[in-house]
Amino acid sequence: MIRVDVTGKSFGGSPVLGPCRFDIASGECLALTGPSGIGKTTLLRIVAGIDDSFSGQVERPDNIAMVFQEPTLLLWRSVIENLTLIHPDLSRSEALDMLARVGIADKAELFPTQLSLGQQRRLTLARAFAGRPEFLIMDEPLVSLDHDTAQSMLRLIEELIAATEPAVLFVTHTLSDAERLATRILELRGSPATPSELSRKDIL
């Protein structure tokens, strides 16, 4: 169970986030939406434990994984090393299996700079799921991808989530993506921003 109880977050004295309280149960997928600049990524980074300067507390498991907005890969290490260095317990054959699941096994010895953006994002998914995380955080994982690539990535994310069953928190601008992946949708609104749950009726 992930328990988020943020009472506030400010940048340079100006409040960005107001009270944000929600739980994510194991196997549950929570989507976070809202207009650009409202504070979605800020809240995500607080929940992930990257940003410590906030009021409140967050309970999260140790084994977490994150898919960043940008691929955030080790560009100077090979594709397979991007898995084995981050997950030292992963054997080479397990890493190759994981790359095969995301469809880039034949790129294992290349550098990430030799991959397309879509392939780099597949690699970040492989990296996230390779550690079988209890809690997966994704910050707009489909941003900057063309429609077909985004759809195949979405299918891949669905498959990997079904196989691994982590608790998931992801940020998206696209309500259709949120509807497809998420069991619940939270929208950040107002200033300072606070979350409110969207029902199916709100979305329609």
Of the residues 22, 68, 129, 170, which one makes contact with another protein according to CB under 8 A: 68
- By CB under 8 A, residue 110 contacts another protein: yes
- By CB under 8 A, residue 85 contacts another protein: yes
DSSP for 47-90, please give it.
HHTS---SEEEEE--S-EEEE-SS----TTS-TTHHHHTT-TT-
Rounded to whole angstroms, the Cα distance separating 151 from 168 reads 19
Task: Tell me 193's DSSP state.
Answer: B
Nearest-approach distance from CB 33 to another protein, in angstroms: 22
- By CB under 8 A, residue 86 contacts another protein: yes
135 φ/ψ angles, rounded to the nearest 5 degrees: -135, 120
3-state secondary structure of 132: coil
Nearest-approach distance from CB 2 to another protein, in angstroms: 14
- The residue (of 91 and 114) whose beta carbon lies closer to another protein is 114
Of the residues 113, 146, 148, 199, which one makes contact with another protein according to CB under 8 A: 113
State which of positions 138-197 bind another protein (CB under 8 A). Answer: none
- Cα–Cα distance list, 187 to 21, 36, 103, 170, 199 (Å): 12, 12, 33, 12, 10
- The residue (of 83 and 198) whose beta carbon lies closer to another protein is 83
- By CB under 8 A, residue 64 contacts another protein: yes
What is the contact surface with another protein in residues (CB under 8 A)?
45, 48-50, 62, 64-66, 68, 70, 72, 74-77, 85-88, 110-111, 113-114, 131, 137
